[in-house]
Structure 1
Amino acid sequence: MSFKTLPDVRAVKFDIQYEDRDSLAPGYWFVSPYLHMDTDEPHTLYEQYQIGPHIYDQEGRLVWTGTSFFDNRNTFDFKVVQSLGEEPHLSLIRQYSHDAEEDGDRGYGVILNNHYEITHMLPLREDLGWFDIHEFNVLKNGETALVTNYLSQEITLEAYGRPTETTWLEYGGFSEIDLKTAEILYHWNSFVEIPLTESVHYNPTSMVEALPGWDYVHINSVDKNDNGDYLISMRFTNTIYLISAQSGSIMWRLGGLAGNTSDFIQDFTFSKQHDAKFISSEGTRHVISILNNASDEEFQSEDVSSALIVEIEAGTEPKTAHILHRYERPDKSLTRLRGNSQVLPNKNMFACWSKGGYISEYAEDGRLLMSAQFTSPRYSNYRAYKFEFTGRPNTPPDLVASVYGTDEANMVTTVYVSWNGATDIAEWQFYAQASEFDERVPIGRIAKTDFETMFIAKGFMDWISVEAVDASGAVLGTSDIHRSAYPDWQAVGYPGISGLPRPNDPAGLHVGVGASLNETSDEENIPSSTNAMADAELRKATHILSSAYETMRKVGGILALIILLGGMAGVMACFMLIRGWRVRLYQRVRLEDGLPEEQTHLRPEMAE
């Protein structure tokens, strides 16, 4: 998508397939498109803005782009947070910089308010490495957040019967971080509790590795229940663990392969999973959601990836776990990397299948309601979420205006307007002023139907402004006053006999315009968008006028050249006749000493 009002933005588009619109949960899509998972070199700061946090509505229309807020850098885990006061907030991970070792930018957990102002930029304590891209989970207490960690240490391979050999190991952990001070309140290290033998990614014959080392568990999510215990997902052990907040020990394991049995009798399998989260947790009974990838880049254990809702009873003997709902990827394919699942307030399931930005929504009973993906296959999305949200940007709406016309009788002013992040605009009310010091005059009102709205007003309108109006008629915000751009009238051959055109007085052309979309416009005024035929004709006229300008510019330039040359010839002829000069039609230019004809103008002393 490209916009007149935000010329640097090229937002990715969605291709959407609806199965049952009426059953979709209300809300917006929160996505973070990326082109490359690794950080790009700094020159990407000057590329078109495409990656980073974005909000879309359910029709795939852009609501907010935050890419310019974060220097065209990758962001992850972009979602709404409801625990930081009465108004909703947004949280995300800003990825570390390409030159993090030199510039010290090791990534941040970021929180914004619903005015899109950054309220928190939380670094990770230096000894815990760079801010990992997997998880930034602001908890319900509104005071702390959970983050995942990757750290390295050198170990012997005694567990694999190779006591004389060493390798570097990248272990997975998590930390709970204070939102006010960035202090680490709790830290957990996988290597203390999870032995090498639980890994399905390495085995006794695996080659040793240098830094960062064996990624033997690959933690990719962490959540916390009201008891204070932590639920973590380890992709390379095919296991979900419950960790005691008191002792740090493993309370139970769900899943596991390669000879590692689950602590549960379960009626389902999963592997290479992502995003294990509590739906509910009471005592020993837990309901959790999981994205079951069932595959990675090398292996697969099932033919289709799925989102699962699982009920766990850890207080019985034996412990039991059974599946409540299974939602298969709509195209019956595999998500080998990344992804997430989210149970919505109406119990619909919203799932992100990552590659290509593929997302889908299901009714609780499993019916597919919608699927969508980016129209450009170059882009992907790690996690996607759906939330209701009210955005109140503290910047004014963006507006550009241009004048078109070939004479005073057919002048029109085209206005484009958008307001990045405003969620509940119903209409735009347009105004013009005769001068900077005159009162505003309403010149039209039009429904907001997309991120950017175009409006055409009769006449040469200058000093344009616009109000954003909600469904109740309340004004949400007002733009700055903008001057209308206009062409070089002489260059385009403007034929006006009374001089170049001047702006019209809006009060003389637009009396009574703009009161409501439902009111009938005066015949002398430009109709609102409710008159589709008139609107189409105006758009057509605008394009015709634009083409006319181009033609007139070309023709006018040729005519001006002919007139200029003729005038010069006439003046020279008159001058020569008066002075009695004779015209010498041709005289060969004398060559300068020793220089070829084509080089005479390059002689050094002449150049000086």
Structure 2
Amino acid sequence: MDNFHSKKSFTPHSNSQVWKFVSAPDLHPMKVTVNVNKPGTAPGFLFVAPYTAYGTNMIGQTGSLIMDQAGNPVWFRPLESRYIQNTDFRVQTYFGRQVLTMWQGTISGTQSAHPNLPAGDPEPGAYYQIINQNYEVIKKITAQKGFTSDVHEFTITKRNTALFTAIKQVPADLSPYGGPVNGYFDNYSIQEVDLVTGRLLFFWDVLAHINPADSMLPASSAKSSNNIWDCFHVNSVEEGPNNTLLISMRNMWAIYQIDKTTGNIIWQLGGKQSDFTFGPNAEFSWQHDARYRSGNRISLFDDACCASSSSPPEGQARGLILQLDFQNMTAYKDRTYYHDPPLIVPSQGNVQKLANGNQLVGWGQEPYLSEFKNAGNTPRDPAKNFIYDMQYPNQNLSYRAFKNEWNGFPLYPPSIAVDLIEKEEATVYASWNGSTETAAWQVLAGPTPFNLSVVVINTPRTGFETDIDVHSVGPYFQVKALDSTGRVIGTSQTAYVKDRKHRRK
């Protein structure tokens, strides 16, 4: 995903940092800490895809995680190994309906200290997927023309097509650039695919349009990654007005607007060939996630760090909105979003405009996500407009973080587990992974599976799993999920529990 490097921070795997659920024993998402939670945050759930770098202890499972603002899991889909990851996990719209989208595969640099590809590249076999509101995978998409589906971007357009980044290693003599003779360009393409037919609709080859000599990452860096030079590092693409695309290239320190019809570059912002000059505090480096904003503005995540693990950081990471003056071809700082306390972020990160005008910042390689009021802050007053901050355990990270409203309706039933206690008492554990509509639980118990009666009419849902004390020995138990109106929206399987247990979460 980027040139990221482990901090060699080893923390013992602590049960206190991982969720454990009696009714969902296979789910072990990370536990998070909410450092700041002030009034005025936007509605919605938080979407992250936790993983970590090689040599760092992964806390919990990798996968796709939806949380509420208190940090409780809402939906978690774990992956089978810490060496498989999801990225760019978020809500989009497909044919008018909410869907979840993500990249899935193995990120180079997460499984070995000496990866075959530049750290952050996708390994072959990666793909994108679209998941409906019932949590069913309805589409799997892969890049075409010999490219590998890239971790950075997968966007469903208003035309219900997929726009994404893809990568391929191209053999080349890199000696003119100061690299090895028998080397490779880490070349990127922008691809657009018809999601119904799979037909390739648009293809833009970066190497055909961008001069590698303009890279801010020296070609000599290829010697540490199998002679592959990650000269461009495309990390975002977005459709703009008048059939244009906005493309961010981290290792060029540049953002480009291109004409989708001709493939020509309309303008370049930043880097060695910038068409713009910069006003005070407006310059950026190693950036991510360039997005169009209203009024000739763009937003981006300014990493300001780092060419390699040995290079000094250039500056403090921040969310940045720039005002573009096309008459004078000057970019001015419009507003900034700094973390409190300051963060040095070597890779990844994003800035998302929220429904109420707030900004959500995912801090990439640093284990935080934050929400700011739109006016932002400065390094001198970082607490200003800094209204929400979540921290992941240890060095768990998420390439991007998002806040989206989401309605999930699982087709699988709720989960139940039961502990029998002394004196005809029981504790029933109820959960329903992914249900956003469950407001309360009803418990039934009885002597046979066909003779159950309600023993708890309505217990409010608390977090992912609700513990319910029941005056019954069953031995058959069942839970029903209730929505906010008291309507039954899901029924668990019937659990048979005869032996007393003293289970502790």
Letter paired with 1:270:
F
**Higher RCO (C-alpha 8 Å, min separation 6):** 2
Q: 1:360 to 1:206 in 2, by over 3 A?
A: closer
Match of 1:25 among 42, 45, 49: 42
Letter paired with 1:305:
A
What do the CA deviations read for 1:77-114 (whole angstroms, capped 9, x no partner)? 000013432x311000011599xx9xx97111100011
Q: How does 1:295-306 map to 2 (within 5 A)?
A: 295-296=305-306, 297=308, 298-299=310-311, 302-306=314-318
Match of 1:292 among 302, 321, 333: 302
1:3 equivalent to 2:21? Answer yes
What do the CA deviations read for 1:335-393 (whole angstroms, capped 9, x no partner)? 1111111111111110111235311110012210011111x214211111001111111
Match of 1:447 among 460, 475, 478: 460
What is aligned with 1:599?
none
Match of 2:148 among 114, 130, 137: 130
Q: How does 1:47-446 map to 2 (within 5 A)?
A: 50-68=61-79, 73-85=84-96, 87-96=97-106, 106-125=125-144, 127-141=145-159, 143-156=160-173, 160=177, 167-202=183-218, 213-257=228-272, 260-267=273-280, 268-280=282-294, 286-296=296-306, 297=308, 298-299=310-311, 302-314=314-326, 316=327, 318-366=328-376, 367-374=385-392, 376-405=393-422, 410-446=423-459
Quote the offset at 1:157 in angstroms: 5.1
Q: 1:13 to 1:168 in 2, by over 3 A?
A: same
What do the CA deviations read for 1:107-129 (whole angstroms, capped 9, x no partner)? 1110001111111011222x332
What do the CA deviations read for 1:26-76 (whole angstroms, capped 9, x no partner)? 1111000013479x9xxxxxx996111000000000101011589983111
Q: 1:194 to 1:49 in 2, by over 3 A?
A: same
Letter paired with 2:88:
D
Quote the offset at 1:170 in angstroms: 1.6
Q: 1:210 to 1:96 in 2, by over 3 A?
A: closer
Letter paired with 2:105:
Q
Q: Which ranges in structure 2 are unaligned for 5 or more consecutive residues? A: 1-18, 117-122, 377-384
- Tell me, what secondary structure is at the counterpart of 2:390? strand
TM-score, normalisation: structure 2 = 0.84
Q: 1:402 to 1:160 in 2, by over 3 A?
A: closer
Q: Is the 8 A contact 1:232 1:276 kept in 2?
A: yes
What is aligned with 2:13?
none
Quote the offset at 1:210 in angstroms: 8.1
What is aligned with 1:591?
none
What is the RMSD computed on CA atoms of the aligned residues? Answer: 3.0
Q: Matched residues in 2 for 1:420 and 1:182: separation?
A: 31
- Tell me, what secondary structure is at the counterpart of 1:197? helix
Q: Matched residues in 2 for 1:223 and 1:37: separation?
A: 31
Q: Is the 8 A contact 2:367 2:395 kept in 1?
A: no
What is aligned with 1:465?
478
Quote the offset at 1:175 in angstroms: 1.0
Q: Matched residues in 2 for 1:147 and 1:190: separation?
A: 13
Q: Matched residues in 1 for 2:460 and 2:258: separation?
A: 53
Quote the offset at 1:299 in angstroms: 4.1
Letter paired with 2:263:
G
Q: Which ranges in structure 1 are unaligned for 5 or more consecutive residues? A: 41-46, 489-541, 547-608
Q: How does 1:536-547 map to 2 (within 5 A)?
A: none
Q: 1:448 to 1:72 in 2, by over 3 A?
A: farther
Q: Is the 8 A contact 1:18 1:371 kept in 2?
A: yes
1:483 equivalent to 2:496? Answer yes
What is aligned with 2:15?
none
Quote the offset at 1:262 in angstroms: 3.5
More strand by share: 2
Letter paired with 2:85:
N
Letter paired with 1:303:
G
> Which shows bigger deviation, 349-358 or 363-372?
349-358
> Which shows bigger deviation, 295-304 or 75-84?
295-304
Q: 1:234 to 1:37 in 2, by over 3 A?
A: farther
Q: Is the 8 A contact 2:62 2:82 kept in 1?
A: no
